[in-house]
Amino acid sequence: MGLALIVHGGAGDIPLERYAAARAGCQAAAVVGWRVLVAGGSALDAVQAAIMALEDNPSYNAGTGAVLTEDGHAQLDAGLMDGAALDVGAVTGVERVKNPIALARAVLASPHVLLAGPGAELFAQRAGIALCAPEALVTPAQRARWRRGYQAGDDVNVESAPERLVAVTDTHEPPPASRNGALPGAPADLVHLDGDQHGTVGAVAVDAHGHVAAGASTGGIAAKHPGRVGDTPLVGAGFYADDELGGVSSTGHGEDFIRLLLAHRAAASLATGHSAQAAASAAIRLLGERAGGHGGLILLDRAGRVGYARNTPAMAHAFIVEGMGTPFDGV
Ligand code: ASP
């Protein structure tokens, strides 16, 4: 049993020139969450703190800097779960909350599980969470992309994208793509070209009491239909935590994660003897094979062992477990 924390900054196509920023943001968020754990804080607090750091970083599609809907609004989703009591809190379609994961945490502490839109914002006010102007969440870069129409080129650099990496090592060694940034022979049909803006964020932690928590936050898919709900605020699809199993946070084309309840499946497979890495890899393999889906997930088993996998060209991530001086980060 040991402290552990892993974060992701979204699975998709990250142009090489954005690798450094994507990795640095994950590294910084992992440090924020790790400090909470080392100070004796709960896994839930660590997950919330790490995700808030990512929401506040405009490089990611969550909180400030999220993608916009077809009609030009940032509609944010977030959810988190406490693996000790199996408490869940989530919000969807909020437009005036700077840190949706903090609001999800307030929902978790209430009798509710999931609150939507204006009702979630009313709940925020009642919980003492200040509302912001919707435009405060929209960065000039996202507004410009929305104005000209989201395009594949916004986040795709196919020539320089590394190969997808479904199966990564069972150790804490950096996966090959993280070491050299490119692997030969990426099959063209595996490269994600639909123009989705990824950069959803998530975190999973195990604390000193062996409690597990997991969460995720996103602006969803670029130019999504107003009111569209993805996997991120849906327990079992976008995130899942159970002290008896472990915790998972997902990223990718949300509809496919919903169809498969993929976060829960990945966590449940830990009970069948899968290692953390095998559970992550098997879930992402299933995503591709069964639903034709694209994405990735991060996972910790209840002992704090790390697993992560993706079938997209990249997934920014960072993790730290006891015995490591600084987080390992990669894409
Ligand atoms: N899963 C998110 C959604 O479908 C998007 C993402 O992870 O990039 O809303």
Task: Transcribe 182-211 into DSSP letters.
Answer: --S---GGGS--S------EEEEEE-TTS-
Check pocket membership of 200 for ligand 1, CB cut-off 6 A: yes
221 Cβ inside 6 Å of ligand 1? yes
Query: Does ligand 1 lie within 6 Å of residue 75's CB atom?
Result: no
Catalogue the E-assigned strands of the chain.
4-12, 76-82, 87-94, 114-116, 201-206, 212-218, 239-242, 246-252, 295-301, 306-310, 314-321, 328-330
Pocket-testing residue among 198, 250, 310, ligand 1, by greatest number of atoms within 8 A of Cβ: 198
Length of the chain: 331
Answer whether 232 contacts ligand 1 (Cβ < 6 A): yes
Six token digits for residue 330: 């990669």
Q: State the closest ligand 1 atom to the C-alpha of 251, by its place in the atom list counted from 1.
A: 7
pLDDT score for 167: 35
Other beta carbons within 10 angstroms of residue 24's beta carbon come to: 16
Residue 312 annotated to the active site: no
Please choose, from the candidates 131, 137, 125, the residue with its C-alpha nearest in 3D space to the C-alpha of residue 56. Answer: 137
- Rounded to an integer, what distance in angstroms lies between the CA atom of residue 278 and that of residue 297? 12
Give the pLDDT of residue 198: 67
Count of Cβ atoms closer than 10 Å to residue 58 Cβ? 20
21 contacts 323 by C-beta, under 8 angstroms: no
pLDDT in tens, the chain (331 residues): 699 999 999 999 888 888 999 999 999 999 999 999 999 999 999 999 999 999 999 999 999 999 999 999 999 999 999 999 999 999 999 999 999 999 999 999 999 999 999 999 999 999 999 999 999 999 999 999 999 998 764 543 222 233 333 333 333 333 333 322 322 222 222 222 234 456 899 999 999 999 999 999 999 999 999 999 999 999 999 999 999 999 999 999 999 999 999 999 999 999 999 999 999 999 999 999 999 999 999 999 999 999 999 999 999 999 999 999 999 999 9
pLDDT of 151: 73
Name the one residue in this structure whose structure tokens are 């969807």.
92
Atom of ligand 1 nearest to the CA of 219: 9
User: Which domains does the chain carry?
Assistant: 4-330 (3.60.20.30)
pLDDT for 24 equals: 96
Residue type, 221: I
For ligand 1, mutation pick of 154, 251, 255, 260 (most atoms within 8 Å of CB): 251
pLDDT for the residue 16: 87
Radius of gyration of the chain (CA): 18
pTM for this prediction = 0.89
Return the axis-axis angle of helices 262-269 and 276-291, rounded to nearest 10°.
140
